[in-house]
Amino acid sequence: MVRSKSSKGGDVVFIGICVVIALICLIPMINLLSRSLSGADFLIKREVYLWPKGINVAAYKTVLADPKYIKSFIWTVFLTVVCTFISLAMTILCAYPLIFGKLKGRKFFNIVITITMFFNAGTIPNYLLMKELNLLDNPLVLILPGCLSVYNMIIMRSFFYGIPESIRESAEIDGASFFRILWSIYIPLSKPVIATLALFYAVGRWNGYSDALMYMKDKAFYPLQLLLYNILNNMNSVEVATQEGFSTPGLNESLKAAIVMFSTIPILCIYPFLQKYFIHGVTLGAVKE
């Protein structure tokens, strides 16, 4: 098929826009990586932009040698894995019953669940609720309150709607139970959307720090992002800066960049393996409602 000049021109414009957007996303990461690998003298003179100068890995050695970073990293990985697994289980178990037309009160449950997307009690009532449930300063407060996203549940439910009912009905005729149908039919057919939602949940938990900031006092259970937040937030304090190893000019900036990279790289490594499911999973989940 011969394409017109205007169509080719549109492709060039579209590719150019994509390149610009990609550069906008990549340049800050490249700059951060360069700063984390540059020597202190070049950082003090503000000569580091997109390429490291005076290659120096002292900042990474400092981070990897400090037990609090390693402990926080291990705890955050564990927390992310557990939260992702529980969230997926809750999402599937919430979405699955809502596709059955014969479920009594189905419309009511759909409305009640959807309302929670738009209305929230607020910070203070949530804090008081966590207090009444004895979850303050309890690691479970980082898992249970956010274990289900209504938005993700709607995506999962919509995907389930797209699976032909004839498959389910034939399984019911063969005597399969509801859970057997879920485990043997719906979950295997839903791998794209499950992978997509798993990444949504994992990224959300990995980057989360506000819940730990509000509800946790025990520093042993601080996720990596909260530890990073506290360090960067207290940089103006000479005493804190000295305790955290930020007392040397230049190393200060290099160490900050290294900590940010240390907390960013692991979750970025997951994207290449699940990226292909993004469009496929979300698009199929929106086919039928």
Residue 85: pLDDT over 90: yes
Confidence of residue 238 (pLDDT cuts 50, 70, 90): very low
Confidence of residue 284 (pLDDT cuts 50, 70, 90): low
> Quick check: 95 and 87 in contact, CB under 8 A?
no
pLDDT of residue 113: 87
Residue 20: pLDDT over 80: yes
Q: DSSP secondary structure string, 202-238?
A: HHHHHH--HHHHHH---GGG--HHHHHHHHHHTTT-H
Residue 288: pLDDT over 50: no
pLDDT of residue 163: 84
Displacement of CA 81 from its chain's centroid (Å): 11
pLDDT of residue 137: 87
pLDDT of residue 281: 54
Residue 252: pLDDT over 70: no
What mean pLDDT, rounded, does the chain reach? 80
Angle among Cα 163, 147, 88 to the nearest 5 degrees reads 30
Residue 239: pLDDT over 50: no
